[in-house]
Chain A
């Protein structure tokens, strides 16, 4: 079982080109939201953090929608499958393409957020809290990606994108119910507590595991239909 690397690279580049306009808008909106956060005022923090979450959720959804859902809906998938690729090549190209198009704005926003927390008057305790939120976004993205690759219908793919992202709200509320996390948010120091480490590790492990399981499942298919 060998991979057709040159064609996979071209397909990843194709997905990047198809997504780059939305990507530019997302990064721009993310930078604006970071500016609000950096003002370190209560109202600006609220606006900035809300905007940042919206930007990240949009970025994840745009990436999956452009690469998988729209491709099925607009019947361009048949065109891609007619190219000299195996189901394994196709799966690898889709996974890598989605990860790249999501992880680039994710990385920019995560780095920007941590820098804003560290280099503005905002309390440094937000550092761990921000990582926990970004960790959830990564996990939610991997769930959405796994579902979008597994299902055939646009409805289920859309549900798979929206449901995990919407759950960020109860997740954030749940975090504030953990005293070891809640009590450290307003402190001007980075404090790694056991619950924070466990939650973050679990989220990252599950995200990586889901992507790996998706790749393994699709790699075993001998044909597309």
Chain B
């Protein structure tokens, strides 16, 4: 299995924030969603993956290049767009496209023109006259038309209106048809992540809370409603993320649901009434609140 990137025991300390002990891999051709609240460390992680920041501990390897030493070679095959990245307001999109064409030998003018039409952008317009949605699309155009092997997107849909958001997600979905292209995109919008990603990583307060295949998340995590009294010590079970009583009902959120759990709960006096899959947002919030590291 070829890895698009590999992080091993990575740490990065700033005066008021630290990313600690991150070990994470992305196989080539996969799409990973990075979910975390503002300040969770998503941007720092993406900066490490582009070589913009050097880790204080651990190893970062991207597309076979160790970073930050090999950042120039790695960045030739990386398309990076972040929410706080801006283009030159006084210059046209055509000017930016020409700059990219000069830098990236794999730049595809035909694909760039196709994206111009798709995003309804005018190449001769200066960026100062673009709306936020148009600026995001322009940035994506500049990233995608260079045909990167790894696409790193930091909050690509933040601040977009619903129409622009769908257009951007559809364009990304098209890109993902290329099975050799890998994508890591961060967001605090779990719906976008759920829609696009093969695997999901939760980051909170600089730590990796959970990382797994999307379907594994949905299969493993369950909201279980039981009849009975909440027994003491239930929350200490490693497979249970939270448990709370509401009258004669007990709501359990299980992080590792299996067929044997109803029997184990029955032994504690709890009769399972129903078990439902959880939405990603609920899984994220529960995982973060329980503080568990998976």
Contacts and interface: CB of A to CB of B under 8 A. Distances in A.
Interface of A: 4, 6-7, 10, 14, 17-18, 74-76, 78-79, 81-86, 89, 222-225
B86 A78 contact: yes
A6 to B, nearest CB: 8
Contacts of B78: 82
Contacts of A85: 72, 75
10 contacts: A4-B72, A10-B103, A18-B90, A74-B86, A82-B50, A84-B72, A84-B73, A224-B52, A225-B53, A225-B54
Given A18-B88, A75-B86, 7 more contacts: A4-B72, A10-B102, A76-B87, A81-B52, A82-B85, A84-B73, A84-B75
Contacts of B54: 222-223, 225
A75 to B, nearest CB: 4
Given A10-B103, A223-B52, A224-B53, A76 B86 contact: yes
Nearest to A71: B88
Given A89-B72, A222-B68, A79 B103 contact: no
Contacts of A14: 99
Central interface residue in B69, B71, B84, by most chain A CB within 10 Å: B71
A225 B85 contact: no
A78 B87 contact: no
Contacts of B53: 223-225
B71 A79 contact: no
A78 B82 contact: yes
Nearest to B50: A82
Contacts of B82: 78, 82
A78 B84 contact: yes
A79 B75 CA distance: 12
B52 A79 contact: no
B80 interface: yes
A78 B73 CA distance: 18
B89 interface: yes
Contacts of B102: 6, 10
Contacts of B86: 74-76, 78-79
B51 A223 contact: yes
Chain B CB count within 10 A is highest, among A18, A78, A81, for: A78
B52 A83 contact: no
B250 to A, nearest CB: 47
B165 interface: no
B91 interface: yes
A17 B90 CA distance: 11
A85 B72 CA distance: 5
Given A84-B75, A222-B69, A224-B52, A79 B84 contact: no
Contacts of B122: none
B47 interface: yes
A84 B80 contact: no
Contacts of B68: 222-223
B181 interface: no
A75 B103 contact: no
A40 B52 CA distance: 55
Interface in B146-160: none
Interface string B51-95: 111100000000000001101110110101110111111110001
A78 B143 CA distance: 13
B85 A78 contact: yes
Contacts of A4: 72
Q: Which 9 A-B pairs have the closest CB atoms?
A: A223-B54, A225-B53, A84-B75, A75-B86, A223-B68, A78-B85, A82-B80, A224-B52, A84-B76
Interface string B97-133: 0010011100000000000000000000000000000
Contacts of A74: 86, 88-89
A156 B95 CA distance: 31
Nearest to B53: A225
B112 to A, nearest CB: 17
A18 B86 CA distance: 15
Nearest to B76: A84
A162 B126 CA distance: 31
A75 B51 contact: no
A82 B75 contact: yes
Nearest to B154: A78
Given A225-B52, A225-B53, A83 B75 contact: yes
A83 B103 contact: yes
Contacts of B85: 75-76, 78-79, 82
A87 to B, nearest CB: 8
Given A75-B85, A78-B86, A7 B51 contact: no
Nearest to A74: B86
